[in-house]
Copies of this chain bind each other. A is one copy, B any other.
Amino acid sequence: MITHVVSFRWKPETTAEQIALIKQALDTLPAAIADIVSYQCGPDVGAHGPANFDFAIVATFENIDGWRTYDAHPEHDRVRSETVRPWIAERAAVQFES
């Protein structure tokens, strides 16, 4: 299996409403992309203070080719470019064997 992790810091002007729309858009991806085995995302709960990033996605795939299909999928690309990317200040991504 491959676990895919992405953490984001949002731009300071990002509103709570925008973050809710980001989560809503991301949560449509598992139904649109069959290669996704599991998918969870959400805003940081605030237990660790401002050193934390603001939001994370954790998704799993059978193998790295499943991740590649997801990464290049047109629906992923649409959500990423229309809803997520405009608000990204920092991004930290890793894919690891799990």
Interface, chain A (partner B; CB < 8 A): 2-3, 5, 7, 40-45, 47-48, 51-56, 58, 64, 67-68, 71, 90, 92-98
Contact = CB atoms under 8 A, between A and B. Distances in A.
Given A45-B64, A47-B64, A67-B47, A58 B5 contact: yes
Contacts of A71: 48
Contact of A42 (B48, B55, B68, B96): B96
- Interface residue SS majority, chain A: strand
A44 B2 CA distance: 10
| Highest count of chain B CB atoms <10 Å: which of A47, A55, A68 | A47
A76 to B, nearest CB: 14
